[in-house]
Amino acid sequence: MSTPSASCPALFISAPASGQGKTTVTAGLARLLRNQGKVVRVFKTGPDYLDPQILAQASGQPVDQLDLWMAGEAYCRQRFYEAAVEADLILVEGAMGLFDGEPSSADLAALFGIPMAIVMDVKGMAQTAAALVTGLAGFRDDIRFAGLIANNCGSQRHRELIEGALPAAIPFLAAVPRDPDLALPERHLGLVQAEEIRDDLEIRFEAAAQALEAAGLLNALATLSPVSFSASTEAQAAVSQALAGQTIGVARDAAFSFIYQANLDLLAQMGAHVRFFSPLSDAELPECDALWLPGGYPELHAQALAANTAMRDAITGFFSAGKPILAECGGMLYSLETLTDYAETTHTMLGLLPGHGAMRGRRGCQGMQTAELPEGPVRGHAHHRSMAEQTPEPMAYGRRQRHPAPGEPIYRAGRLTATYLHLFFPNNPAAVARLFSHGLGNDSAPHDSVLSVSAQATAASPQIEESSHAVK
């Protein structure tokens, strides 16, 4: 039986470094094509939470994170295939510089044959920009380059100097004008969350779309050849209904929003009923069998979290009843006794886990790691600018991707599992099922070390509902 395939034009938006304008260009291009009635499916390389929020609003379509190490080739292949079936264009926004990381954005582009456009902030240089792009384009011979998008271009003459210095093999795709109204606002650990500035983003999306149209980028897109994406037989393997009949409460509001859609899809596919609630504004938990407290920005809402004593009592009661709780990064900080914010004000938190959290300026920790859980290993990543002190002895540590030193500590108190690591559930559905099951090591959960996500995961979305008071 032949493997299904689908063809669709695709473009990988890359850059020589962070801060070059990749997200601005990707979002503006997605909005431009959406305004023309096109279906644009956008993906983000790496374990990023904030950029996908921006890109989903710009494109009007869900945005998945793709990482060859964290998610695996089969998962990425299946997501591309599903997108190609329905989309007029696939856009992939890279992470950092195109060759940074192992695996890098270039590795993903090369594996799936997606041409790369280089976005470069050309302010303060002219012919040198052409030299840099030429060097990037010649660094590897397995990458097909679509050309250069010159961001922050000062004038028509500025464009001519750069374009004239480019070799014939590297097209000049567009010059994005130097305009502060196009740039997306930033905050610590990345971009501001889309929900906080939705109206402002709409203005910037439309401005960027108009600028890219005026720059002639649509003409360049018209020359893109379709890329063939095949389905993954491995990713189509069924996941058992290991969480059938269980309800999982998921914290989601301005304080807790670092949630992979792929994680929600997997929980639903395994039969779980997902209900969202807001630790900021709800007075009680939804009826549920397990809780997931994901990451986010609790330090920016610590006063409100501390003041919501009804919710704190509800969660501590849930913990005392011996029900499963997964607390990741910001969720772990919320689980500690106190949290000290950037203003050095200390706030009372849940107290499920002994210890005290505190923010620590601009220095942070990040990196890809495997959470070595008793239920099984689950890959994920860490990215935080806080510290947890006076905590108990960890039950385990994360295993770093390429370094022998111990990674983030993993704590367990009763049925609470708390860590700075953000887990990517599809990496090991069997372990995740056991983590959220009523009984630790539930025999009804599958015990294969790695199972893959079915292509039909999103079909289970009707099982996901909002709490009546959840912040949206």
30: nearest Cα among 79, 109, 116, 93: 93
Residue whose entry in the numeric block shows the structure tokens 């990749």: 22
329 is catalytic: yes
Q: How far apart are CA 463 and CA 468, in angstroms?
A: 15
Cα distance between residue 327 and residue 417, in whole Å: 6
Q: What is the distance between the alpha carbons of residues 259 and 435, in angstroms, rounded to a whole number?
A: 17
Yes or no: say if 258 and 329 are a contact pair by the CB < 8 Å rule.
yes
Label residue 178 exposed, middle or buried (CB < 10 Å: 0-12, 13-18, 19+): middle
d(CA 44, CA 65): 5
**What residues form DSSP beta bridges with 292?**
250, 326
Residue of 8, 76, 329, 365 marked active site? 329
Which residues, 6+ apart, have CB-to-CB distance to 38 below 8 Å? 88, 89
Task: Kindly state the tokens that stand for 92.
Answer: 């992939």
Q: Which of 294, 301, 305, 297 is nearest to 420 (CA)?
A: 294
CA atoms of 27 and 17, how far apart (whole Å): 18
Q: Identify the burial level of 345 via C-beta atoms within 10 angstroms of its C-beta, where 0-12 means exposed, 13-18 middle and 19 or more buried.
A: exposed
CB 176, CB 207: distance < 8 Å = no
Which residues are CB-neighbours of 279 under 8 A, at least 6 positions away? Answer: 251, 253, 255, 256, 293, 305, 308, 311, 315, 334
Cα dihedral sign for 100, 263, 462, 280?
negative
CA nearest neighbour of 258 among 339, 312, 326 = 326
Q: Which residues are catalytic?
A: 329
